Amino acid sequence: MTQTAQSRGLCAYCEREMTRGGMNRHLRACDQRALVMEDADGKAGKIVPLVHLQVRDAWTGRYWINLEVDGSAALRELDDYLRAIWLECCGHLSRFSVGRWGQDEIPTSTKMGRVFRPGAELTHTYDFGSATVTRVKVVEVREGTRTTGRPIALMARNAPLACHCQECGRPAASLCLECSNTGRRGTLCDEHAAAHPHEDCGAPVELVNSPRLGMCVYTGPAEPPY
% of the chain surpassing 70 pLDDT: 95
Could you tell me if residue 184 is inside a domain? Answer: yes
User: What pLDDT does 201 receive?
Assistant: 66
Residue 94 and residue 33 share a domain? yes
Residues 175, 87 share a domain: no
Same domain, 133 and 189: no
Vertex 95 angle, CA 160 and 120, to 5°: 75
Domain match, 102 and 200 both: no
> Does the pLDDT of residue 3 top 70, yes or no?
no
Q: Which long-range contacts (CB under 8 A, 24 or more apart) does 221-224 make?
A: 222/85, 222/86, 223/84, 223/85, 224/81, 224/84, 224/85, 224/154, 224/157
Choice among 64-73, 108-117, 157-166, 184-193 with the minimum mean pLDDT: 184-193
pLDDT of residue 132 exceeding 70: yes
Note whether 169 and 150 are same-domain residues: no
Residue type, position 141, single letter: V
pLDDT in tens, 32-57: 999 999 999 999 889 999 999 999 99
pLDDT recorded at residue 143: 97
Q: Which residues contact 104 (CB under 8 A, 6 or more apart)?
A: 97, 98
Does residue 3 sit within a domain?
no
Domain check: are 22 and 120 in the same one?
A: yes
Please give the model's pTM, rounded to 2 decimal places. Answer: 0.90
Provide the percentage of residues in the chain whose pLDDT is more than 90: 73
Q: What pLDDT was estimated at residue 2?
A: 45
42 and 117 in a single domain? The answer is yes
Note the pLDDT tens digit of each residue in 141-197. 999 999 999 999 999 999 999 888 999 999 998 888 888 777 788 898 988 888 887
In a domain, 226, yes or no: no
Answer yes or no: do 19 and 74 share one domain: yes
- How far does CA 44 lie from the centroid of its chain? 31
How many domains, the chain?
Answer: 2
Domain that holds residue 211: 160-220
Tell me: do 108 and 213 sit in the same domain. Answer: no
Where a domain ends, among 128, 158, 188?
A: 158
Provide the CATH number for the domain around residue 78: 3.10.290.30
Q: Point out the domain boundary residue: 158, 175, 201.
A: 158
Any domain includes 115: yes
Q: Is 9 left (phi over 0), alpha (psi -120 to 50) or beta?
A: beta
Whether residue 79 is found in the same domain as residue 171: no
Q: Where are the beta strands (DSSP E) in the chain?
A: 8-11, 17-19, 48-57, 64-70, 94-98, 105-106, 121-126, 132-144, 152-158, 174-175, 187-188, 205-206
Total count of residues recorded for the chain: 226
State whether 169 and 204 are in the same domain: yes
φ/ψ (deg, to 5) at 32? -70, -40
- The answer to whether residue 138 is domain-embedded is yes
Task: Say if residue 200 is in the same domain as residue 165.
Answer: yes
Among the listed residues 186, 171, 175, 100, the one whose alpha carbon sits nearest the alpha carbon of residue 135: 100
Mean pLDDT rounded to a whole number for the chain? 92
Contact by Cβ (8 Å): 17, 7: no
The confidence score (pLDDT) of residue 84 equals: 97
pLDDT band of 1, cuts 50, 70, 90: very low
